[in-house]
């Protein structure tokens, strides 16, 4: 599994990714962090998916940053990085 960060606003979202294929994003519960998905990440990768789990702001390795933000905006930043839309000619 590869661990990295993805920028969203002023925040750096910690993310783990594994596998290749269609992207699957796993969102942790409000009392956990991305580590809750370790088994599922491996299972999805073996099933032919690119599996990704990230820490939401204030959880795990992602710090809460003092700025206005939306959880959906952070999710979109992750999706844009792990599953970019194809460009049309």
DSSP string, 24-70: EEEE--TT--GGGGHHHHHHHHHTT-EEEEEPPTTSTTPPP-SS---
47 part of a folded domain: yes
The CATH number of residue 62's host domain is 3.40.50.12270
88 part of a folded domain: no
65 part of a folded domain: yes
25 part of a folded domain: yes
81 part of a folded domain: no
8 part of a folded domain: yes
The total of structural domains in the chain comes to 1
Entry field: residues in the chain: 89
pLDDT at residue 85, as a whole number: 73
84 part of a folded domain: no
Q: pLDDT, tens digit, for every residue of 26-79?
A: 999 989 999 999 999 999 999 999 999 999 999 999 999 999 999 999 999 999
- Cα-to-chain-centroid distance, residue 41: 11
HSE-up of residue 24 (Cα within 13 Å, Cβ side): 18
Q: Is-above-0.85 flag for pTM?
A: yes
Its domain, for residue 51, covers: 2-69
């Amino acid at each position: 599994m590869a661990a990295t960060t993805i920028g969203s606003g002023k925040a750096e979202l910690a993310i783990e990714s594994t596998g290749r294929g269609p992207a699957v994003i796993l969102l942790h519960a409000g009392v956990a962090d991305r580590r809750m998905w370790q088994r599922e990440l491996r299972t999805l990768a073996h099933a032919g998916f690119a599996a990704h789990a990230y820490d939401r702001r204030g959880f795990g390795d992602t710090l809460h940053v003092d700025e206005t933000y939306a959880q959906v905006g952070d999710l979109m930043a992750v999706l844009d990085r792990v599953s970019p839309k194809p460009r049309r000619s």
